[in-house]
Structure formats: C-alpha cells, structure tokens
Amino acid sequence: MTQTIARLAADHSFGFVVTAVLICVVAGWLVAKLASNIPVAKLEHRKLWIAGTAVVAGIGVWTTHFIAMLGYRPDMMLGYEGGTTTLSASVAVAVVGGPLSFAPICRSWHSRSALGAVAGLGIGAMHYSGMAAIQGCLQLHSPLSSAMATGIGASCLALACGLPPRLATSRVFCALFTIAVGGTHFIAIAGTSLEPVAGQIMVPHANVALSIFTAVGAAVLFLGAFLTILTAQRFEAQEHAHSAVLRTALDNMSNGLVYLDGDERVRLYNRRYLEIYGFDDATDLTGLTVDQIVDLVGDKHCWDDARRQQARARLGSWRTLDRCTSIDYPIDDGRIMQVEIRPVEAGGTVVTFDDVTGDRLAQRRITELAFCDPLTKLPNRRALNERMERDFLPKQRFKLLLLDLDRFKPVNDTYGHAVGDRLLIQVAERLRRIAGPDGFAARLGGDEMALLVYGDLDQATAVAEQVIEAIAQPFQIDDITLSIGCSVGMCCTDDARDAVELLQFSDMALYESKRHGRGRSSCYTRGMQEAVSERVQIETNMRTAIERGEMHLAFQPVLALTDDHVIGYEALIRWDHPTLGAISPVQFIPMAEETGQIVPIGAWVLQEACRQIALLPGDVYVAVNVSPVQFRSPLLLSHLTQALSQSGLPAHRLEIELTETAIVEDGSQIATMLEAIRRLGVTVAMDDFGTGYSSLAHLRDFPVDRIKVDRSFVATAESDRHSMAVLEGITHIARALGIPVLAEGVETPSQLELLRKIGCDAIQGYLVGRPEPLVRAATSQPSTSQRVFA
C-alpha cells in the first residue's frame, strides 16, 4: 500500500491533483444543489432541472478525470484522440448524470440507491473510456484495482442517493460524490501501467493542447453553472422573502393545512398540521410522499400494519375526489377533525383540518335535548313520533301503549315537585326495564308516558298488565313510601293509518281506562272515535245549549205522608239536543263537571227553579241538586242570593241537595259552607244517603235539614231484610235527631204502605209523579193524590 501511494505521488503532478479535487468538490456541491430542486420544481420546469443536473454531474466527473490526467506521468508526453475523448464526455453525462438526476424523484430508497449505484458504475465506465483515448502507449489494467475502483464509486453514490431526507444534506452528498469520483479515478490509475510502443512516433502537442482546451472549457462550464446556481439562490432568497409572509399566515392559522402535489409529495404545510399529529416544529415534511407521511404518523402513534393500511386507503380515497368534499374524521386521541379535501386544477390536493370536537359535542347535546327528556333520560314526544313514523314505512306491526299515572298530583301537592320528579325517574326506570332492548319507552310530558311493543295483541296486553302491576308497587324516596297506579290505553298500527292517528286512538283508549275506574288497560276498538266525536260535540254544544233554549227543567213532586199533600218539587235538568235527541243527565252532567261548565249551568238551574216555583202559591219548596264541583266554587253563595232576589222566592222555600260523598270530601270547608247557606235561610238535604261514606257522625257533624234515602233500599226492602233494617234504622235515628226522612224511588202502593208503617216523613217516585214541566206537575196534584190512595 505504501509503495502504491509512493508510485501515485511520483506519477502525478501535485498541482493538477489539487485542481482536480477542487473541481470535483465544486461539482459535487453543484449537483447536490441542483438535485434538491428537482422534487419541488413545477412539472413544466422539472425536465430542465433534470437535464442541467445530468450535464453538470457528467461534465464534473469528466473534467476531474482529465485535469488529473494532465498531471499524470509528467515523464511521458501523452496524446489523446479527440473522438474518443468526446465520447467519454457523453458517457459521463448519460451514465453518471442521468441516474443522479432521476434519483431525487423516486419514492423508495431502494430505487434511489440502485440509481446511485448505476451512477457509480458510470464513473468507472467514463474513466476507462477516457483512458481509451490515450494514444502512443500500451495500457495494462489490474482487474483487482478496476473492481475496487468501480466498487467504491458504486457504494458511495448508492449511499449518497439512498440516505433519508433528514441526513441527505448538501455537504454529505458533496463528500460522498468527491470520494466516489476521486476514489474511482485514483484506485483505477494505481492499477494501470503505461508502456511506450517501440518504433511509434508520438505527436502529443496537439492532443495535449486539446486536453487543456477541453479542461478549460469544462471549467468555464462549471463557472457558468456556479453563477447560475448563485442567481437561482438570489431569486430563491426573494421567493423566501415573499413566502415568509405566507409562512407566517399559515403558521398562525387555527386550521391544519397540507398541500400535496400531483406526485403526492408534500409541497406545503403549516405548524397547526404538525401539532395535530404531535410533531415538533423542527420536523421537515417537504418532499415526503403520502406513504412516508403515514409511516411517520404511524411511528409516532405506534400504529400496527392494519391501521397504516387503513390510513393509506383513506388518503387514497381522498385523492380520487374530483370536487371539494368535507368529512368528519375522528383521530386517535378522541378529537373530531372536519377535513376538507379540495382538488387543485394544476394538479394536487389541498387538505385542511379543523378541530370541531367542541361543536360536535354541542350538536350532540342539542340533539339529546331535542329528542331526550332531561329529567328521566327517556326519549321525548318528538323522538317517539319519529320512531313511530320510521316504523310505519316500511310498516312494522307494533302497539302503542299510552299510560297516565294515577294519584300523581297529590304527591306533588303533598311532598313537593322535587319528590314528584324523583318519583318520575323511578317510574321511568321500571318502564325501561319492562321495555327491554326490543321495546321503546318515552315520556310525553307531565306524568304521561308511552311504550312501543313490537308484537301481537296478547304480547301487548301482557306488557300492559306488567306495567300496571309494576307501577302499583310502592316507591321508596328517602323515608317516604309512595303508592300510585296507572291507566293504560293501547292501539295497534293495523288500526291506524299513520303515527298521528295511532297516538290519537291510544289516547282514546286511555280515556276509556280512566273513565272505567283507572288502574286498568283498554285497547282501542272501532266505534271509540265516534263516541269521542259525539262527546266533543256534546261538550261544544253544551256551552250554548241554554242560550238556544235546548235545556229546561222538569219537576218531580214530593209527597208528605202526614197529610198526603205535595209539599215540594225536585227540579231536574233536561236537554233536548236538536240532532242527538234527548241527552240523559247521566251522560252530560259528568262532562259538565270535568270541563267546569257545571258552574254556569248550575247557576241557571237555581235561577230557573226559583223563578218557576215562585209562581206557585203557599209554602211549596223546590229542591235543586248541587254538584260537588259547584259546591266547591266560591260563586255558589252569590248564585244562591241572586236566584232568590231575582225571583222573589223566600229562602225557606229553596232546598239544595248534596250527596253524602261530596259532603265528606273536605269536612271543615263543607261544614263552613253549609252553615253559610243555612244562615241565608236555605235548607240543606243529604241526597242518596246510605250509598256513599255513610256514617252516623255525618249526621252529627254536618248541619242538614233533610235526609233522602237512596232508591236502592226502597226497591229491595220488601224482599231483603238487610235493606229493611237499614230503612228502619235510618228512620229511627233521624227521628231521634229531629231530621225529616224522604224516601226516593217509590213506585208501588206496597212500598208506600211499608214506608208509612216504619214512620218515613215523605216520599218521591213514579207512584207520586214523574218529572215533568212545572205547570203540568202542579195541575195534576189532585189526580195524583187520588191515584196514590185509590
């Protein structure tokens, strides 16, 4: 090795060697600078950059060789053949410059290394083609040196081209390029020997001059390329100055941004994009391909191969879009990014990332508020409607169960709404368990809830009974034990045309359950709608029935058994509807009580009864039934005084009848009202005694002037000893208390004789007279008495 180095030193002129090395270093630096612009250049300019890089690289290798050869073997006058010399330059540009200029646009490092290795072998090819141009001597080349020379060239350039972007700096490339070119040349020269050919006359001067001229021309070319690079850098500096403003704007954007060119390489990105994926500001993504970006993100977040393939597939679908598209993209840390993919006309794609996590959570909350009951967390009415409409088309067979809690209002009134709310939450939990995964429970508002049961009538009925049983079980809230119940109405989709009608029919069935005593379930049947329509018609027409003259009073006489004379009449309201005919009080009075219309109707009955009875002579009184709703109204005393004053009827000729059930609903308040009524001079009768909450304490505590025994005891007294005992007991107790007794429903002479025998004071019934207009009832008194005692 020492001898080889000494021989190389002896065979070379030091000045030429230094010059060759300097030219090689400059060439390597120029190639690195030119090559770095190839991947980021626009497509229409990229060919020029590739061609320039190839020429500079080839001429640099060629010039280094011949400058070094000018200082080789100063003891010999070497000559060069012009054609071969030119050919060697072409070989350098094609085989060395070509692979080096195409390597930067390759995505895979394997491909870049392979092109670098080809370029390294090209240096050896150029060397030996240049050596072939030498004239007048015999050349002997060592195979080992040749292999070593081409090997060092190929390995150095393979490494220079295959390095990752963060390591492939201009300095590293320049150093490896210089080693590759210099190593190939000098190792090959070390294994080469030149021997003059005997008898051949050499004319080297022209060839030497040609070699010098070629070297000078190459140097000029390098100088021009160098000046071109400097000029490009000047313009690049200006471009950087302009792009600094853009970079400032990009880095201060709230959205992440990345621009991929037509070759799917990163051309532009901002700081926010790096932050989204957890990279620091020093990370350089410029020139990286999509696959490389995926690998960087995957390495950062420890993605497996399946996750990486998923990311590549998503990016691939984004690149195929031909118009601007916006999608929601959840990332690994739970944030939601709104990604906008915008294709660029010149080629490539701009992708922006906007963190919309807060907005999406707010939207989700708004949706929950729109479709969820905030108290019970059950779906609300809107959610129920949407579910029913969805399952109608395509039609699925299910039943809607509407349920209304019984005795819920007293809970709120007694314990407060806080306890009521907690009770509703527990009710919702029970319904949710009953509905299960296949059902659907909802709260419609207040204490009204709903269930969707997917199945036949038997299944729906079983669920309804299960609901009634579950709600009937006691609820425990702190130390309070609450017992409520519920009523259920249900309808099947087969009975309704749409969700609106299904809800309407279920509500009708629920009303039927309440009307028949609560704590039960009812299923919609055909005819309920007509009944409800008739009810609505009755309720509507009832408001104006008095003004239209459709309502009138019928009077049923009361006969005193002491002297067998009519002592009074009970005023009974009748309604003759123009289309429905005669409507029974049993039908319309409960409606009037529910709607509150009983108060104005009751006031009219008082006025009309007093007006008509005032036309009769004597002390005949009139009895008027007062509804519990009317009795609780603060207007009752006012209506009584107005009826008496406007008719001129003495107060003692007016008697109001109140059922025993109504009297005991609010004992203290009722007792106060009864005292106020009696102070007016109006008498009070307890109606239907024996059928309600009958208690002797009521006769003691409440001031009444007459007891009316219910007709059910009169009808069965002759055949039922228990009814007979009740009649006798009431009569004896009332006589002891000094309260007259009136028996209702007397229809036969035998009943009359029985009541007379046990000491009843008065009777009322068909035997004495039917309810009819007052004029007719008054004029028929004689015949009535005759009929009674015939």
For residue 287, which amino acid is it? G
**H-type alpha helices, 254-372:** 271-276, 290-301, 305-319, 357-371
Three-state DSSP class for 709?
A: strand
Please give the distance of CA 131 from its chain centroid, rounded to a whole number: 80
Q: For residue 474, say if its preceding peptide bond is cis, omega within 30 degrees of 0.
A: no
* Sheet of strand 325-330, all strands in order from the earlier edge strand to the far edge: 266-269, 256-260, 349-355, 336-343, 325-330
For residue 258, give the H/E element and its range: strand 256-260
Active-site residue flag, 368? no
Cα first-last separation, the chain = 164
| 757 to 95, 716, 738, 752, 763: CA distances (angstroms) | 143, 16, 18, 9, 13
Q: How many helices (H) and strands (E) does the chain have?
A: 31, 25
Report the alpha-carbon distance of residue 700 to residue 77 in Å, rounded: 155
Q: Alpha-carbon distance 758 to 411, whole Å?
A: 48
Round to whole Å and give the CA distance between 494 and 524.
11
Quickly list DSSP for 25-56: HHHHHHHHHHHHHTTTS-HHHHHHHHHHHHHH
The DSSP symbol for 201 reads: P
How far CA 239 is from CA of 235, 242, 456, in Å, comes to 6, 5, 77
For residue 566, what is the enclosing H or E element?
Answer: strand 565-577
How far is it, in rounded angstroms, from Cα 773 to Cα 787? 19
Residues 6+ apart with CB under 8 A from 263: 39, 105, 289
Please state, in angstroms and rounded to a whole number, the distance separating the CA atoms of residues 699 and 705.
10
Diameter of the chain measured on Cα atoms: 184
In sequence order, what are the residues at sequence separation of 6 or more whose Cβ sits closer than 8 angstroms to the Cβ of residue 151?
A: none
* Contact between 710 and 690 (Cβ < 8 Å): yes
DSSP letters along 370-383, please? HHB-TTT-SB-HHH
Identify residue 368 by its one-letter amino acid code. Answer: E
Long-range interactions of 169-175: CB distance < 8 A, separation 24+: 169/32, 170/29, 170/32, 170/33, 170/36, 173/28, 173/31, 173/32, 173/35, 174/25, 174/28, 174/29, 174/31, 174/32, 175/28
Name the helix (H) or strand (E) containing 325: strand 325-330
As a whole number of angstroms, the distance between CA 587 and CA 537 comes to 13
> How far is Cα of residue 270 from the mean position of the Cα atoms in its chain?
33
User: What's phi and psi for 500, nearest 5 deg?
Assistant: -65, -45
Encoded tokens for 151: 């090997």
In terms of DSSP bridges, do strands 399-406 and 266-269 run parallel, antiparallel, or are they unpaired? unpaired
Amino acid at 344: V
Residue whose token pair is 């009943």: 751
Q: What whole-number distance in Å separates Cα of residue 198 and Cα of residue 82?
A: 23
Structure tokens at 574: 């009748």
Catalytic residue among 368, 744, 747, 772: 744
Give the E-state strand segments of 201-255 in sequence order: none
Residues with catalytic roles:
744
